[in-house]
Structure 1
Amino acid sequence: MRPPTLNIFPSQPMHVEPSSTNNHKAATALVSSTTNNSSKRPSEPSMELANARNNAPSSGPETAKAIKREGNRKGPTSSNSEHEGPKTPDPKTLRRLAQNREAARKSRLRKKGMFFGGILGGEQGLPVGISNISSEAAVFDMEYARWLEVHHRLMCELRAAVQEHLPENELRLYVDNCLAHYDEIMNLKGMVAKTDVFHLVSGLWKSPAERCFLWLGGFRPSELIKVILSQIEPLTEQQILGICGLQQSTQEAEDALSQGLEALNQSILDTIASDSLSCPPNMANYMGQMAVAMNKLSTLEGFVRQADNLRHQTIHRLNQILTTRQAARCLLAIAEYFHRLRALSSLWMARPRQE
């Protein structure tokens, strides 16, 4: 006899499903073989599953009723909450929430300042020239950047108001907003002057071209008057006298502050060099010299504050001398002047370098 071979070629095409009779026979054979080859214990889970399926419909209505009763029990509470609607907070709560948001914003700025000013320099070992910035100075730089963004928006609104020829009373609102914004930067500088006056004097928060004209942490008010004179004409005789007097008094105050700063620098140099500069120095004399020099150096904050007050008074004094429309053109001219200095700095930084 020929040996049996594997039936690898089916008698029917594979896409044709077998008849129900064959399926029934195969299922009967599979059940019988399972019953004969297995014990009775493994078949118990199948019977339990079948019983669970048979009992499930009977428990369905009871479960649905229980869920419905539970929903009815909770229903009135949810419906009442929906009908009540959101409650409007009282003004005291709104004010407290606004204060909390402002405190959180300042806290984030302080953390960022500490990160840029202290952690980067201390943990990553950056050079002193890069990381030698206090956390207060870093916060001031970020606040100044935000101030510039708001300043640009205010100037755009003021320019549009001037071009639309709004009445004097409406234009005055735009001018007052811009003046109040200048007061804000003066307050910011006053706060950082208490902790890091050298950051203001160095001008690192300004663009490179602006630093060329830096004077005690800001612009010279007398030079600014010269810049805007051609932008606010025509002037009455009384206005001309007022502006000329303002420019003269401003120039005298600038000269007095410059002379005082020069005298301070010379005094500090004399104090440091009063003893021998030999190395190693006499430690007793050395520490005494440093203490005297530090006391003298602390007066630098007073010079910067007086310079900022002079700048602040000059802008507000011009606003009093000029009409509302002239004051608007004056503020626009000042903004355009500093904008061009920043643009010049950007062009200078992007210039092609030669090897």
Structure 2
Amino acid sequence: MSMTGGLGTRRQTNAHAGSIEAFLEGWLVRQEHYLDELLSTQQHCHEMRDEDLKELISRILAHYQEYYEEKSRMAHRDVFLVFCPTWFTSFERAFLWIAGFKPGLAFRLVTNAVDDLSEDQRQRINKLMGETKMEERAFGHELAKIQESVAAPPLLELARRGWRLANGEISEEDRVLDAWKSALETLVANADSLRMNTALKVVEILRPAQTVRFLAAAAQLQLRIRTWGLQREAERQE
């Protein structure tokens, strides 16, 4: 790759990162507002109708959907950046599993935040947890296969030789890289789908008042991890 091409790629990467950073900044402000609303609602659930609780829940789920839609666009532009997101602190990145939180985290949040599950709810949650773990393992194996393919010929040999055709044609290296990026993009999309679908299925099992506690716990954990991450980075710079 020429120096000019390398600079162009870096500029493009920086532009992509800046785009999602701007989105995330606004999204997190709204997340904090939703958390305030959830905590307030949690204190007055017994006074509110289920219809009102469901309306709040619907708005918050749509808020998460906005994030996944933006992330999908980012993955299409630069899937490698999604795997190592510069818009998160190093502490936040330590919690990532296939470019996001592990779907099974939802069940720990339910355990910690919802202490009044019925026996039927408990059985349905346990069944869903088993299904989710199976899918997590399958995706983990798929990621390992993709990573192994990067180190295996012909890509490794091509990388060593630095093959790149000068006449503008697509080289074999480019074809392999494109296939690799496509596989990663598909894996991220499937992992995000599992994350969102797991949360939606949990919400279907819980009663509205229980869901408010579940969503509040999820938002609190996310924002707390971000705050800790920012504090750590600030301390390193002192």
Residue of structure 1 in register with 2:216 after alignment:
332
1:272·1:290 contact (CA, 8 Å) conserved in 2? no
Query: Mapping of 1:1-355 within 5 angstroms?
Result: 133-165=13-45, 166-270=48-152, 271-274=154-157, 277=160, 287-351=171-235
Structure 2: tracts of 5 or more residues without a match: 1-6
What is the aligned-residue RMSD (CA, Å)?
2.4
Q: What TM-score does the superposition give when structure 2 sets the normalisation length?
A: 0.84
Runs of 4+ in 1 over 6 A off after TM superposition: none
Larger radius of gyration: 1
2:17·2:81 contact (CA, 8 Å) conserved in 1? yes
Q: Which has the higher contact order (CA 8 A, sep 6+)?
A: 2
Instruction: Give the Cα–Cα distance (whole angstroms) in 1 for the partners of residues 200 and 82 of structure 2.
Output: 22
Decide whether aligned partners of structure 1 residues 182 and 275 sit closer, same or farther in structure 2, where only a CA change above 3 A counts.
closer
Decide whether aligned partners of structure 1 residues 136 and 349 sit closer, same or farther in structure 2, where only a CA change above 3 A counts.
closer
Instruction: Give the Cα–Cα distance (whole angstroms) in 2 for the partners of residues 159 and 283 of structure 1.
Output: 57
Q: Percentage identity across aligned positions? A: 25
Decide whether aligned partners of structure 1 residues 175 and 194 sit closer, same or farther in structure 2, where only a CA change above 3 A counts.
same
Q: What TM-score does the superposition give when structure 1 sets the normalisation length?
A: 0.58
Instruction: Give the Cα–Cα distance (whole angstroms) in 2 for the partners of residues 174 and 200 of structure 1.
Output: 29
1:301: Cα distance to partner?
A: 0.5
Structure 1: tracts of 5 or more residues without a match: 1-120, 123-127
1:260: Cα distance to partner?
A: 0.7
Give the letter aligned to residue 156 of structure 2: A
SS at match of 1:176: helix
1:259: Cα distance to partner?
A: 0.7
1:222: Cα distance to partner?
A: 0.6
Decide whether aligned partners of structure 1 residues 163 and 290 sit closer, same or farther in structure 2, where only a CA change above 3 A counts.
same
1:332: Cα distance to partner?
A: 0.3
Instruction: Give the Cα–Cα distance (whole angstroms) in 2 for the partners of residues 311 and 201 of structure 1.
Output: 16
Instruction: Give the Cα–Cα distance (whole angstroms) in 2 for the partners of residues 186 and 291 of structure 1.
Output: 28
Residue of structure 2 in register with 1:51 after alignment:
none
User: Which deviates more from structure 2 when the two are superposed, residues 225-234 or residues 268-277?
Assistant: 268-277
Instruction: Give the Cα–Cα distance (whole angstroms) in 1 for the partners of residues 190 and 180 of structure 2.
Output: 17
Decide whether aligned partners of structure 1 residues 296 and 345 sit closer, same or farther in structure 2, where only a CA change above 3 A counts.
closer
Residue of structure 1 in register with 2:3 after alignment:
none
Instruction: Give the Cα–Cα distance (whole angstroms) in 2 for the partners of residues 207 and 137 of structure 1.
Output: 13
SS at match of 1:144: helix
1:257·1:303 contact (CA, 8 Å) conserved in 2? yes
Name the count of aligned residue pairs: 224
1:277: Cα distance to partner?
A: 3.6
Decide whether aligned partners of structure 1 residues 170 and 262 sit closer, same or farther in structure 2, where only a CA change above 3 A counts.
same
